[in-house]
Amino acid sequence: TSDEPPAKQSRWINKQRALIFSSRGISHRARHLMIDLRTMMPHSKAEPKMDRKDKLFVINEICEMKNCNKCVFFEAKKKQDLYMWVSNCPRGPSAKFLVENVHTMSELKMTGNCLKGSRPLLSFDNAFDDEPYLSLLKELFIQTFGTPNHHPKSQPFFDHVFTFSVTDNRIWFRNYQILEEDGSLVEIGPRFVLNPIRIFEGSFGGPTLFTNPHYVSPNTHRQLIRRQVAQKYINRVH
């Protein structure tokens, strides 16, 4: 009968909450990517953009106020470079990435679709077990991007899969819709590539656990390109 109190929902064990927000001055594409992440992660919370002059460790306090134990923070530099922090608040670890090759969900070439809030399968490349820093990132990604079981805003069906793959010392993210259960997929988007820069022991700070030797900062990269162009002229003169 309806007089009975509703059964207590104690099945929701994995209480992950992720705060997704950004600094001021991010490009429209980055903003769309952020919104896409929020749509795909029902366990996420939003927060207004943070002032650029605020120190990053303030985020730990914001997370605490918002009752979040994971944070994805987008940081824009020079109005063109986008960095992404993924952190386990407040105890760490945290990782900083350069985000490259962003394609958002609103692009028309990706034809898949999925339920809003359905739990994604998380697919990882074998390379994630080979290197200690990748296994650490894997665990961080699982806890951040995975939707907790029985989350109130989640859907009980499985219709998409997140793919994390290591190629060229970068982590490539893809999101596919599961069309048929025999394994035919269509891409939903977004797409992005994460170039790991540094892993910190704490949340948004603390001792460094790892730096990527293959990382070239976008400033250096642009400088190299400019120098190559200049070289062309110098070669012609001499």
Partner 1 sequence: NVVVEAPKQSINNVTGMKQKLKELQQGLDWVERLDLTNPPAPPPPGSNETEGTEGSGVAETDNDFKRELRFYRQAQASVLTGLAKLHKLGIKTRRPDDYFAEMSKTDDHMKRIREKLLEKQQGIENRD
Contact set with partner 1 (CB under 8 A): 13-14, 39-40, 88, 91-93, 105-106, 108-109, 111, 113-117, 119-126, 128-129, 132-133, 135-136, 138-140, 142-143, 146, 148-149, 155-159, 161, 163, 165, 167-168, 172, 174, 176, 178, 181-183, 185, 188, 199, 201, 207-213
What is the DSSP pairing of strand 191-202 with strand 94-103?
A: antiparallel
Q: Tell me the C-alpha to C-alpha distance, in Å, between residue 33 and each of 29, 117, 136.
A: 6, 16, 24
Closest approach of partner 1 to the CB of residue 107, in Å = 9
Comparing CB distances to partner 1, the nearer of 65 and 121 is 121
Comparing CB distances to partner 1, the nearer of 27 and 155 is 155
Closest approach of partner 1 to the CB of residue 52, in Å = 26
Comparing CB distances to partner 1, the nearer of 2 and 228 is 228
Amino acid, res. 199: I
Amino acid, res. 18: A
Which among 125, 169, 167, 175 has a CA at the least distance from the CA of 145?
175
Burial call 44-72: b when 16+ CB within 10 Å, e when fewer: bbebeebeeeeebeebbebbeebebbbbb
Closest approach of partner 1 to the CB of residue 138, in Å = 7
Give first-to-last CA distance, the chain, whole Å: 94
Comparing CB distances to partner 1, the nearer of 3 and 168 is 168
Which H or E element spans position 106?
A: none
Comparing CB distances to partner 1, the nearer of 21 and 202 is 202
Closest approach of partner 1 to the CB of residue 101, in Å = 11
Closest approach of partner 1 to the CB of residue 47, in Å = 21
Q: Report residue 5 CA to chain centroid gap.
A: 40
Comparing CB distances to partner 1, the nearer of 23 and 191 is 191
| Residue 129, token pair as written in the block | 């077990």
Closest approach of partner 1 to the CB of residue 149, in Å = 5
100 Cβ neighbours under 8 A, 6+ residues apart: 170, 192, 193, 194, 195
